[in-house]
């Protein structure tokens, strides 16, 4: 009775040598960013101070450094974007990079935006890379789908053979 029930349970087919061979190869965990803890670093602080939310970081940047990021919600990989600028600001001071400025409440803010060619190129690069990751993930999923179908067909054939 119990054996018949477990065999019919499709969600938990139990270990088989075939699965052990195939499934570790097609996992896309390395590309799944859903569970990844994001860490934003301030581009201007020398020490890599980590912020868990972009809102906290943007507040710090505005108050401490008078630096804003335009259209931050459109940046594909904000972590890498910030890391890039962190490295750049170590090489050159902010006023030497030709960043556009914005006046607000009689204060002048530097603005990281795509008016600056270097920024624009960085945003595009991150966009292309994100697209490639999505394509790779899709390909992996399709491969897994095909493999699952093959396993299903094969196990059906083996089952019929053993009868």
Residues at the contact surface with Zn ion, assessed by CB under 5 A: 42, 44-45
Minimum Å gap between C-beta 42 and Zn ion is 3
Between 88 and 144, name the residue whose CB sits nearer to Zn ion: 88
**Minimum gap (Å) between residue 10 Cβ and Zn ion:** 53
What is the chain written as a DSSP string? -HHHHHHH-TT-----HHHHHHGGGG--GGG--TTPPP-EE-SS-SS--EESSHHHHHHHIIIII-EEETTGGG-S-HHHHHHHHHHHHHHS-GGGTT--EEEETTEEEEEE-TTSHHHHHHHHHHHHHHHHHHHHHHHHHHHHHHHHHHHHHHHHHHHHHH-
Smallest gap, in angstroms, from Cβ of residue 89 to Zn ion? Answer: 10
* Closer CB to Zn ion, 4 or 63, in the complex: 63
Token pair, residue 125, equals: 């690069």
How far apart are CB 86 and Zn ion at their closest, in Å?
9
Residue 45 or 151: the one with the smaller Cβ distance to Zn ion is 45
**Closer CB to Zn ion, 44 or 75, in the complex:** 44
């Amino acid at each position: 009775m119990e054996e018949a029930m477990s065999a019919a349970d499709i969600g938990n087919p139990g270990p088989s040598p075939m699965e052990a061979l195939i499934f570790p190869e097609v996992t896309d965990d390395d590309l799944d960013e859903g569970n990844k803890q994001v860490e934003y670093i301030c581009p201007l602080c020398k020490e890599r101070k980590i912020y868990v939310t972009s809102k906290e970081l943007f507040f710090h940047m505005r108050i401490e450094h008078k630096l804003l990021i335009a259209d931050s919600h459109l940046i594909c990989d904000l972590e890498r974007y910030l890391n890039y600028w962190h490295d750049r600001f170590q090489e050159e001071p902010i006023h030497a990079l030709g960043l556009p400025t914005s006046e607000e409440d009689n204060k002048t803010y530097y603005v990281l935006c795509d008016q600056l060619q270097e920024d624009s190129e960085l945003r595009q690069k991150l966009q292309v890379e994100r697209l490639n990751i999505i394509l790779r993930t899709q390909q992996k999923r399709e491969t897994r789908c095909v493999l699952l179908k093959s396993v299903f067909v094969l196990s059906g054939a083996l089952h019929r053979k053993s009868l």
